């Protein structure tokens, strides 16, 4: 039977529009995001399939292991409760008595529900975790030969934490059983991504351990390639026990020569993105994350299409057979899908072509008449990102300071050590601070680092944030020009966050300088005494922080969760996440700061003219 050319063309167009856009050359195309609930997960997975996804990441926004806060005052589990560690999520029988059953079951139920959706859509799943991860001390009391590397950060913790040693055959059996449990309940998972040597996880005798190169001395001389190969092979064996097949990669090993290790691995396993045997690239990808991986955190929803496109361009230049696309910035998914789909039929290699490509996207997104303004916003966002990354010391300062040290909600006062317990109660439990109270009172102490101490720290932060603020101011105007009031408000909120960062570092530098000078205020200032420079600057900074906080409250209104990452309940409030009482806490900050103006008389000679 012959078909007319017009009919064939129509069918071709119909298939193209309704079917997935499978990128050529990839054996796996993995899309991931953050998810508000199961319906949101399903919507994302279905949309990703239209763009050619074969796999969906299922590890985001799982229940947190708050039970790991088992020692009052130790902040380090804040890094661990998000880890999705295998032995905690799917504990084998030998470990069940050491951890709450309701935790593991709550996680597995979410994973099962997500995988059921993927099964219906004909998609597979990828699972990310941090392993081998710290276990309760009781495990090692009962099984002392299971004790492996110390995996806390000694300057950021108050309790020594240990992971199980993957050199011990009994421990490997635990992992094998754990994987089998997980795969039986979630058979769609066929790729594991492991992060190690961070957030309470680590390998014995690794150079990448925060506590130093230590581990179980019975296995001190075991080569690292044998250690890693044994671990990855065990995970694959566990999947086969459950009737599945998985690929496994491990990252952040900090091995000086990962290629040497990769040469000893099997195909389908990888270290630092180098696949075993042939030492070829394992995967490629890019995207825009949310939370820790986003430079604008705790503000979310600021679109970053330049970064997203750059990741796609870089990925197209590699020969890796697996593509990973991160759309963690869920508020702008539609924009990223638009870019991704158009990229499949376009090849914007150079910077000029990429700008032209994005201008077309801008026209589709904001209308032809506003394309240039929309494109300028996106370019400004990327320019801001380049500056902001200079404030990354294991995390961006807006996050490590603004959230982890609660700069946004805590008061800036000249005598923080004199604050009453009631005045500290709303923020002190959420400070990431494992050292003494003098460090907790020091605004510039960010996770035991002194990167932002003193006048040099103040000067550095100012130099970085001055151009950022100028670009943000321009974006506020441009967003209103294109009629996007929500985006304009988002930039205004971010401006308050970066102002808070600037003020925190500056205030502490000024306070330290005045203390170091040891100048005592006069008991009575003679007539014509003016406010000196130190007093003027410090009180101006305090007032700016008060006004900045009041402005932030006005911008957020009754719905701070529209612009900031906020825990849905007080019980889920954490070092890493502001709580639902955020606006009340800002008001408490204002009340405390405004009640301490007279304290500055104990620091400076008062003017009298």
For residues 98 and 192, state if they share a domain: yes
Domain termination site, one of 248, 279, 310: 279
Asked if residue 377 has pLDDT above 70, the reply is yes
Residue 384 lies in a domain: no
pLDDT in tens, 172-217: 999 999 999 999 999 999 999 999 999 999 999 999 999 999 999 9
* pLDDT attached to residue 15: 32
* pLDDT attached to residue 8: 32
Any residues with CB less than 8 A from the CB of 469 and at least 6 apart, and which?
Answer: 495, 498, 499
Asked if residue 609 has pLDDT above 90, the reply is no
* pLDDT attached to residue 6: 38
Tokens of residue 551, six digits:
């402005």
Asked if residue 17 has pLDDT above 70, the reply is no
Q: What is the pLDDT of the chain when averaged over all its residues?
A: 94
For residues 256 and 287, state if they share a domain: no
**Secondary structure letter of residue 605 according to DSSP:** P
* pLDDT attached to residue 352: 95
Residue 208: φ, ψ to 5°: -95, 5
pLDDT bracket for residue 371 (50, 70, 90): very high
pLDDT in tens, 484-535: 999 999 999 999 999 999 999 999 999 999 999 998 999 888 898 888 999 9
Please give the Cα distance from 64 to 186 (Å, whole number). 19
Residue 56 lies in a domain: yes
Helix/strand/coil (H/E/C) assignment for every residue in 504-559: HHHHHHHHHHHHHHCCCCCCCCCCCECCCHHHHHHHHHHHHHHHHHHHHHHHHCCC
Domain housing 119: 69-279
For residues 79 and 228, state if they share a domain: yes
For residues 333 and 256, state if they share a domain: no
Residue 495 lies in a domain: yes
Asked if residue 447 has pLDDT above 90, the reply is no
* pLDDT attached to residue 564: 97
Residue where the block lists tokens 């276990």: 135
pLDDT bracket for residue 24 (50, 70, 90): low
For residues 410 and 345, state if they share a domain: no
pLDDT in tens, 408-430: 999 999 999 999 999 999 999 99
* pLDDT attached to residue 23: 55
Asked if residue 132 has pLDDT above 70, the reply is yes
For residues 90 and 115, state if they share a domain: yes
Residue 217 pairs in a beta bridge with none
For residues 173 and 319, state if they share a domain: no
For residues 311 and 223, state if they share a domain: no
pLDDT bracket for residue 347 (50, 70, 90): confident
Q: What is the mean pLDDT of residues 562-589?
A: 96
Asked if residue 11 has pLDDT above 60, the reply is no
* pLDDT attached to residue 275: 98
Residue 370 lies in a domain: no
For residues 127 and 15, state if they share a domain: no
For residues 469 and 596, state if they share a domain: yes
For residues 430 and 567, state if they share a domain: yes
| Intra-chain end-to-end CA distance of the chain, in Å | 103
Residue 201 pairs in a beta bridge with 133, 198
Tokens of residue 594, six digits:
């405004």
Q: What is the mean pLDDT of residues 248-258?
A: 98
For residues 240 and 340, state if they share a domain: no
Indicate left, alpha or beta for 182 from its phi (over 0: left) and psi (-120 to 50: alpha). alpha
pLDDT in tens, 264-296: 999 999 999 999 999 999 999 999 999 888 999
């Amino acid at each position: 039977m012959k078909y007319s050319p017009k009919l064939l063309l129509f069918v071709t167009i119909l298939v193209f529009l309704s079917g997935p856009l499978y990128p050529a050359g990839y054996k796996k195309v993995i899309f991931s995001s953050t998810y508000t609930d199961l319906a949101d997960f399903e919507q994302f997975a279905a949309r990703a399939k239209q763009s050619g996804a074969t796999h969906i990441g299922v590890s985001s926004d799982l229940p947190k292991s708050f039970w790991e806060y088992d020692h009052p005052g130790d902040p380090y589990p804040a890094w661990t409760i998000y880890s999705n560690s295998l032995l905690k999520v799917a504990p084998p029988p030998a470990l069940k008595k050491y951890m709450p059953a309701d935790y593991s079951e709550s996680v597995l139920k979410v994973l099962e529900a997500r995988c059921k959706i993927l099964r219906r859509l004909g998609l597979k799943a990828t699972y990310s975790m941090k392993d081998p991860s710290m276990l309760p001390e009781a495990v090692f009391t009962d099984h002392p030969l299971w004790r492996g590397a110390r995996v806390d950060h000694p300057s950021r913790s108050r309790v020594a934490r240990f992971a199980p040693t993957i050199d011990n055959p009994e421990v490997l059996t635990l992992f094998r059983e754990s994987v089998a449990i997980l795969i039986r309940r979630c058979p769609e998972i066929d790729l594991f991504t492991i992060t190690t040597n961070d957030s309470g996880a680590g390998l014995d005798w690794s150079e990448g351990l925060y506590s130093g190169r230590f581990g179980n001395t019975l296995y001190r001389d075991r080569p690292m390639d044998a250690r890693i190969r044994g671990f990855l092979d065990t995970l694959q064996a566990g999947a086969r026990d459950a009737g599945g097949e998985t690929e496994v990669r491990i990252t952040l090993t900090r091995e000086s020569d990962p290629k040497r290790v990769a040469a000893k691995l099997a195909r389908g396993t990888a270290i630092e993105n180098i696949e075993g045997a042939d030492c070829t690239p394992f995967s490629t990808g890019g995207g825009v994350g949310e939370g820790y991986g986003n430079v604008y955190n705790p503000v979310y929803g600021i679109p970053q299409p330049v970064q997203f496109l750059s990741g796609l361009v870089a990925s197209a230049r590699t020969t890796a057979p697996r593509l990973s696309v991160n759309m963690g910035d869920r508020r702008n998914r539609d924009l990223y899908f638009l870019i991704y789909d158009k990229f499949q039929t376009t090849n914007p290699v150079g910077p000029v072509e990429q700008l032209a490509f994005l201008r077309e996207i801008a026209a589709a997104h904001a209308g032809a008449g506003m394309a240039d303004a929309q494109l300028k916003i996106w370019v400004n966002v990327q320019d801001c990102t380049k500056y902001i990354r200079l404030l990354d010391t294991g995390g961006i300062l807006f996050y490590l300071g603004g959230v982890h040290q609660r700069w946004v909600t805590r008061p800036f006062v000249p005598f923080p050590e004199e604050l009453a317990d009631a005045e500290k109660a709303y923020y002190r439990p959420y400070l990431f601070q494992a050292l003494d109270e003098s460090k907790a009172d020091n605004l510039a102490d960010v996770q035991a680092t002194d990167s932002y101490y003193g006048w040099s720290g103040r000067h550095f932060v100012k130099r970085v944030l001055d151009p950022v603020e100028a670009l943000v101011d321009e974006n506020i105007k441009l967003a209103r020009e294109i009629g996007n009031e929500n985006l304009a408000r988002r930039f205004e909120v971010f401006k308050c966050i970066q102002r808070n960062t600037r003020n925190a570092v500056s205030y502490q530098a000024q306070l330290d300088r005045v203390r170091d000078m040891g100048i005592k205020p006069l008991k009575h200032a003679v007539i014509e005494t003016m406010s000196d420079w130190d007093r003027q600057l410090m009180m101006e900074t305090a007032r700016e922080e008060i006004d900045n906080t009041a402005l932030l409250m006005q911008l957020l209104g009754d719905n701070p969760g529209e612009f900031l990452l906020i825990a849905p309940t007080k019980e889920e409030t954490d070092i890493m996440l502001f709580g639902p009482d955020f606006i009340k806490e800002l008001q408490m900050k204002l009340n405390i700061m405004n009640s301490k103006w007279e304290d500055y008389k104990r620091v400076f000679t008062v003017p009298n003219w």
